[in-house]
Amino acid sequence: MSCCQNSAASIGLYVDCGSVYETPASFGATHLLERMAFKSTTNRSHLRIVREVEAIGGNVTASASREQMGYTYDALKTYMPEMVEVLIDSVRNPVFLDWEVNEQVSYFVRSLPFSLLENGMFIGCVNAAAKSEG
């Protein structure tokens, strides 16, 4: 039996959609997309994605930077077909359910430094973004 038969694999998908591409009207979109990674898709609920990942002992992550976003899936290489399927489905077919988006926006607001909320800077940015869409 080979010592590397069940070695781990890490696959990733990288997309040129970092914060450098944001406009004043879309400020924060990259961070929100990062938070929405591996949520519900047209083919799977978020719960189903979590269960599929956990069933094979995998780990999924998303990261956002100035230039790009990265979506990765780590598991044993014997599960590569399942990994690819979930990774592609999560990146290409998100549904952005209202309650999932609202949950992530709420988390984002709660995680802001208190000083930003206290001096009204965040509220000012939100109001400016809302006014610019009209």
Instruction: Write out the catalytic residue numbers.
Output: 34
Confirm if 93 and 41 have CB atoms less than 8 A apart: yes
Which helix (H) or strand (E) segment is 59 a member of? strand 59-64
User: 80-92 and 46-55 are packed helices; what angle lies between their axes, rounded to 10 degrees?
Assistant: 160
Output the CA–CA distances (angstroms, integers) from residue 41 to 21, 45, 97, in the order listed: 24, 6, 9
| Pairwise CA distance, residues 21 & 36, whole Å | 18
What are φ and ψ of residue 33, in 5° steps?
Answer: -60, -40
Tokens of 74: 């780590």
